[in-house]
Structure 1
Amino acid sequence: MTTAATREASSDVILEAIRKHTQAGNPSSFLAMNTGNELFTLPDTDGIVVYRRAARHLVQFGGPFAAPDSCERLLTAFDRYAREQELRVVAVQLQRADAEIYARMGWTVNQMGASWAVGLADFTLRGTRFMQLRNKISRAFRNGLQVRETDIGDVREALAAIDAGWLADKGEHARPLEFLVGQTGGAAQRHRRLFVGTIDGAPVGYISYSPVLGARAGWMHDLSRRLPGGSPGVMEAINSTAIEVFRAEGVPWLHFGFTPFTGLDPAHELPCHSPAFAWLMSFLWEHGEDLYPARTQLAYKEKWGPDVMLPEYVAFRGQASPVSFAHIFRACNAF
């Protein structure tokens, strides 16, 4: 038996680890702070593994947040811990540096999608490239939208009503995604920023921004919701207001987070990748809108003219498994 311990994730322990170990520059690392995550550690080892259980799988988030000389030891112990319980490990949202560690250890590693970021130092919405975006934002403000940064305690009930309306608009079988998307509230809320749009004093939409640590530090455009119907351009206007605030503060980067099935390129694959799984990712980009609206998500991100695309990876112990891949979405509450 391994001597490792698992427990409900402690926000303080995770925050210390992701602040300390940012060598891979994972822009989504703050999602490790989500409530509902679990934590794996080893005695006398500098680092943690964050994961969720989904049926007979442990879905690991973001690679080990650990000192470079501890990553392989921690990952080996975590895999052993899973095997002792007859569980399988699948790791998601690995950065390139993480992916190379898994590859050295004999895992099958494939690109699963990409994350996107905009440099804010020279960002502007001027020019013909952003004409449609400017028009959409202007229309929202002409329709009475006002945007302000606020504390969640002032709008908690309004946010719950927006969430309920947003989810109802998705259909009766829609479920709110978890794990690989952010949250509002909880112990980590003090580290996030919240921008809310109102019309006639009533909140109609919001965007929550999570801190990005390490390489390309800044904020990540994370959880975003709006009431169905109403004025076009609400979310764009909220985000443009946040960008103005961030730029005034000297924030260098705004990240738009991970979108599966996007940015796929054979040049990003490692030698240990599965060609069949690479084909599956391309197929889901073309035909997987019912599983995840990747095209819609990417279209929104591309409106802002991202400067950087970062490939992100999924890793399997042994062969790439569609069953293990499906359990990533199960951990996300997609089904």
Structure 2
Amino acid sequence: MTTESAPASPAHHAIRAYTQSGNPSAFLALNEGNRYFTSPTAQGVIVHRRTGRCLVQFGGPFAPAEDYSRLLGEFTGYARRQRLRLVGIQLQRADAVRYAEQGFTVNQIGASYAVDLADFSLRGSRFVRLRNKISRALRSGLTVREAGADEYAGALRELDTRWLAGKGKHARPLEFLVGQHGGAAQRHRRLFVGLIDGELAGYISYSPVYGSRSGWLHDLSRRRPDGPPGVAEAVNSHAIEVFRGEGARWLHFGFTPFTGLDPAWEVPGHSPAFRWLVGKLWERGGAVYPARSQLAYKEKWAPDAVTPEYIAFCGRASVRSLIHVFRAANAL
């Protein structure tokens, strides 16, 4: 069995082929910096990062049904032999049930959001404010188009720097649980840019989503801090029309921690104390993760599907392991 940083192509095959859990963020498995656990006795991969004495797993095993439990068991054994804590993040409902059956403590940690594009339209009273914001951006001279990442490589990096500076001197660029641009996986992504007088005012990167709700994941967006309001909304609206024209069915907005919490979505054996903590993080955890602003943006588009996502602890629920998740995401 191995744990490596190299095999992005096998990982890509796994997330396309093994979609039992329907994880809409599965493409983030290909982010640079991830590591991949494989076994000679089971197909598939487990994606993870190490922070200190903890392995933080992304999603469940991307494996065929007959090898799922075996691969998870071998990974758990690997962590135990290395004397490492193990915590899994962004598990889907099907994963959560299987992890709980194998003795993990599993709790809902947030939710993901998606829009059905089949009949999507910005017409109607509920989208008045969104339409006005888009119109304001377009009146400022904004134009939107799809582009290749290589066309704007330098401008993307410069905008990333300016955007982060606008978040305050202690802001850190999130990773692991959000998208990225560049690297070997870039050829599979789509990039839409907003331009004002030929200069980059904002962009959104989209990643492919496989499985029963296939489509695209709105996985990374940035805008110029001094730019007009509505840039991100105008770029996303343009991308939606392109995706609809191509016959794509779903646009996913991805995972937001601490949101969409519902006692009915918990699995047997969950930790009531950890559930209380997640609720408090929704109320007061803005300094750790910008959940409220993320949710506000996603709700502008009136999502049709809200899906619970889970965290799984090997053993008891642990605040220390949760902190390692945030460290893996560069939030701490």
TM-score (normalizing by structure 1): 0.98
Residue of structure 1 in register with 2:30 after alignment? 33
Give the distance between the partners of 2:298 and 2:2, measured in 1 at CA: 39
Corresponding residue SS for 1:255: strand
Give the distance between the partners of 2:212 and 2:182, measured in 1 at CA: 26
The correspondence for 2:306, drawn from 289, 298, 309, is 309
Residue of structure 2 in register with 1:133 after alignment? 130
1:218 aligns with 2:215: yes
Residue of structure 2 in register with 1:198 after alignment? 195
Q: Which amino acid aligns with 1:160?
A: R
Q: State how 1:283-298 maps to structure 2 within 5 Å.
A: 283-298=280-295
Q: Which amino acid aligns with 2:85?
A: R
Residue of structure 1 in register with 2:8 after alignment? 11
Q: Which amino acid aligns with 1:165?
A: R
CA displacement, residues 151-208 of structure 1 (integer Å, 9 cap, x when unaligned): 0111001101110100111111211011001110000000000000000000110000
Offset of residue 9 of structure 1: 3.7
Gaps of 5+ in 1: none
Residue identity (%): 64
The correspondence for 1:187, drawn from 184, 189, 198, is 184
1:151 aligns with 2:152: no
Give the distance between the partners of 2:234 and 2:310, measured in 1 at CA: 32
Residue of structure 2 in register with 1:326 after alignment? 323
CA displacement, residues 116-166 of structure 1 (integer Å, 9 cap, x when unaligned): 000001000001100000000000000000000000111001101110100
Give the distance between the partners of 1:36 and 1:289, measured in 2 at CA: 26
Q: Which amino acid aligns with 1:113?
A: G
Give the distance between the partners of 1:208 and 1:241, measured in 2 at CA: 13
Corresponding residue SS for 2:88: strand
1:250 aligns with 2:250: no
Corresponding residue SS for 1:155: helix
Runs of 4+ aligned residues of structure 1 deviating over 4 Å after TM superposition are: none
Gaps of 5+ in 2: none
1:123 aligns with 2:124: no
Q: Which amino acid aligns with 2:150?
A: G
Corresponding residue SS for 2:42: coil
Offset of residue 313 of structure 1: 0.2
Give the distance between the partners of 1:229 and 1:307, measured in 2 at CA: 32
Q: Is the CA contact (8 Å cut-off) linking 1:9 and 1:36 kept in structure 2? A: no
Give the distance between the partners of 1:183 and 1:10, measured in 2 at CA: 18
Residue of structure 2 in register with 1:266 after alignment? 263
Q: Which amino acid aligns with 1:309?
A: V
Offset of residue 83 of structure 1: 1.2
Corresponding residue SS for 2:238: helix
What RMSD in Å do the two structures reach over aligned CA positions?
0.7
Give the distance between the partners of 2:289 and 2:328, measured in 1 at CA: 14
Corresponding residue SS for 1:25: coil
Residue of structure 2 in register with 1:52 after alignment? 49
Give the distance between the partners of 1:112 and 1:215, measured in 2 at CA: 23
Q: How many residues align?
A: 332
Q: Which amino acid aligns with 2:246?
A: E
Offset of residue 229 of structure 1: 1.7
Q: Which amino acid aligns with 1:281?
A: V
Give the distance between the partners of 1:288 and 1:8, measured in 2 at CA: 32
Give the distance between the partners of 2:133 and 2:50, measured in 1 at CA: 42
Q: Which amino acid aligns with 1:147?
A: V
Residue of structure 2 in register with 1:99 after alignment? 96
Q: Which amino acid aligns with 1:86?
A: R
Give the distance between the partners of 1:91 and 1:230, measured in 2 at CA: 38
Offset of residue 85 of structure 1: 1.2
CA displacement, residues 242-275 of structure 1 (integer Å, 9 cap, x when unaligned): 0010111110000000000000000000111000
